[in-house]
Amino acid sequence: MSYRRSPILFVIALLVAAACTQPPPSGASSTPQATGGAASTLVWYADTSDLISLDPAVAYEFTGVLLAHNAYETLVKFEGADLSTIKPALAQSWEIKDSGSQWDLTFKLRSGAKFASGNAITADDVVYSFQRVLKLNKSPAFLFTDIAQIKDTSIKASDASTVVISLPKTASPQGFLSVLTFTIGSVVDSKDVKAKESAGDSGSGYLLDHSSGSGAFVIDHWTKNSEVQLKANPNYTGSPKPALGGVLVKHVPESTNQQFALEKGDADIARNLGSQQITALQGKPGVVTTTGNSLQLVYVGMNVTVKPLDNVNVREALRTAIDYDGIVKDLFKGGAKKVQDIVPAGLAGYNESTPFQADVNKAKALLQQAGQSAITLELLVPTGPAPGGVAWADLAAKLQSDWKNIGVTVNIKQTTQADLLGTYRAQKGQLVMILWGPDFPDPDANVGPFTDYAAKSIAFRNGWDDKTIAAKGHDAALITDSAKRAAAYKEITDYVLHNGPYVVLYQPTEPFGLRSNVKGFVWSPMDWTDFAAISK
Partner 1 sequence: MRFLGFLLRRVVGIAAVMIGVSVITFAISHVIPADPVAAALGDHATDAQIAQFRAEYGLDRPLPEQYLIYATGILHGDLGKSIRTRRSVADDLADSFPATLELSFAALLISIVLGVPAGVWSAVARGRLPDYIVRVLSLAGGSLPVFWLGLIVIGLFYYQLGWFPGGGRIDTFVPPPPTRTGLYVLDSILAGDLDALRSSLVHLVLPAVTLGYFSTAVIARMTRSSMLEVLGQDYMRTALAKGLREPVIVLRHALRNALIPTVTIIGLTFGSLLSGAVLTETIFSWPGLGRYATASAVSLDFPAVLGVTLLAAIVYPLANLVVDVVYYWLDPRIQHG
H-run or E-run covering 524: strand 523-524
- Write out the binding residues for partner 1, residues 284-323 only, by CB under 8 A: none
* Under rule CB under 8 A, residue 348 binds partner 1: no
Closer of 238 and 344 to partner 1 (Cβ): 344
Q: How far is the CB of 430 from partner 1 (least distance, A)?
A: 18
421 part of the interface to partner 1, by CB under 8 A: yes
Q: Residue 346, by phi and psi: left (phi above 0), alpha (psi -120 to 50) or beta?
A: left
Q: How far apart are CA 503 and CA 39, in angstroms?
A: 48
Residue 457 is a binding residue for partner 1 (CB under 8 A): yes
Q: Does 454 bind partner 1 (CB under 8 A)?
A: no
Minimum gap (Å) between residue 382 Cβ and partner 1:
11
Q: Applying CB under 8 A, what is the total number of residues that bind partner 1?
A: 59
Interface residue with partner 1 among 434, 459, 496, 514 (CB under 8 A) is: 434
* DSSP state for residue 358 in the 8-state scheme: -
Handedness of CA 457, 68, 135, 204 (dihedral sign): negative
* DSSP H or E run through 301: strand 297-302
Residues 6+ apart with CB under 8 A from 90: 73, 74, 75, 109, 110, 113, 121, 126, 187, 214
* Of the residues 200, 418, 468, 483, which one makes contact with partner 1 according to CB under 8 A: 418
Q: Which of residues 221-280 bind partner 1 (CB under 8 A)?
A: 223-226, 248, 250-254, 256-257, 260-261, 263-264, 266
Burial class of residue 427 (count of CB atoms within 10 Å of its CB; 0-12, 13-18, 19+): middle
Residue 408 C-beta: closest distance to partner 1, Å: 26
Which residue lies nearer to partner 1 by CB, 1 or 374? 1
82, 98, 325, 419: residue in contact with partner 1 (rule CB under 8 A): 419
Site string for partner 1, 138-177 (x = CB under 8 A): -x--x---x-------------------------------
Q: Which is nearer to partner 1, 144 or 356 (CB)?
A: 144
**Smallest gap from residue 477 Cβ to partner 1 (A):** 17
Contact pattern from residue 5 through residue 44 relative to partner 1, giving x for each residue in contact according to CB under 8 A and a dash for the rest: ---x--xx-xx--xx-xxxx-x--xxx-x---xx--x-x-
Q: Which of 60, 19, 56 is nearest to 130 (CA)?
A: 56
Assign 393 to helix, strand or coil: helix
314's CB contacts (< 8 A; 6+ apart) are: 308, 366, 367, 370, 372, 375
CA 99/CA 10 separation, integer angstroms: 80
In the complex, minimum distance from the CB of residue 418 to partner 1, in angstroms, rounded to a whole number = 4
CB of 397 to partner 1, least distance (A): 24
Dist CA 211 CA 463 (whole Å): 44
User: In terms of CB distance, is 264 or 519 closer to partner 1?
Assistant: 264
Q: Which residue type sits at 238? A: G
Tell me whether residue 90 or residue 230 sits nearer to partner 1 (CB atom).
230
Q: Which one among 189, 341, 402, 439 touches partner 1, defined by CB under 8 A?
A: 439
**Binding residue for partner 1, selected from 118, 286, 371, 422, defined by CB under 8 A:** 422
Burial of 70 (0-12, 13-18, 19+ CB in 10 A): buried
Q: Please provide residue 427's backbone torsions phi and psi, each rounded to the nearest 5 degrees.
A: 65, 30
Q: How far apart are CA 121 and CA 431, in angstroms?
A: 51
CB of 159 to partner 1, least distance (A): 37
Between CA 409 and CA 310 the distance in angstroms is 17
Task: State the minimum distance, in angstroms, from the CB of residue 12 to partner 1.
Answer: 5
Decide the pairing of beta strands 41-46 and 269-270.
Answer: parallel
Stretch that binds partner 1, among 285-293, 391-399, 420-428, 523-531 (CB under 8 A): 420-428
At its nearest, how many Å lie between partner 1 and the CB of residue 80?
Answer: 26
DSSP state of 24: P
Q: Are strands 227-232 and 217-223 parallel, antiparallel or unpaired?
A: antiparallel
Q: Between 256 and 368, name the residue whose CB sits nearer to partner 1.
A: 256
Q: Smallest distance from the beta carbon of 260 to partner 1, in angstroms? A: 5
Residues 397-416: x where in contact with partner 1 by CB under 8 A, - otherwise, as a string: -------------------x
Q: Whole-angstrom Cα distance, residue 437 to residue 294?
A: 8
In whole angstroms, the minimum distance from the beta carbon of 435 to partner 1 comes to 8
Q: Which is nearer to partner 1, 224 or 376 (CB)?
A: 224
- Binds partner 1 by CB under 8 A, chosen from 194, 425, 484, 498: 425
- Kind plus residue range of the DSSP H or E element containing 297: strand 297-302
Q: How far is CA 384 from CA 253, 329, 334, 429, in A?
A: 15, 20, 19, 19
Asked if 52 touches partner 1 (CB under 8 A), the answer is yes
Comparison of 4 and 112: residue with beta carbon closer to partner 1: 4
Query: Interface residues for partner 1 in 85-144 (CB under 8 A)?
Result: 139, 142
Q: Do the beta carbons of residue 413 and residue 309 sit within 8 Å?
A: no
Regarding 198 and contact with partner 1 (CB under 8 A), the answer is no
Give me Rg for the CA atoms of the chain. Answer: 26
What is the per-residue DSSP string for 151-195? -GGGEEEEETTEEEEEEETTS-HHHHHHHHHSGGGBPP-HHHHHH
For partner 1, the binding residues (CB under 8 A) are 1-4, 8, 11-12, 14-15, 18-19, 21-24, 26, 29-31, 33, 37-38, 41, 43, 49, 52-53, 139, 142, 146, 223-226, 248, 250-254, 256-257, 260-261, 263-264, 266, 416-419, 421-422, 425, 434, 436, 439, 456-457
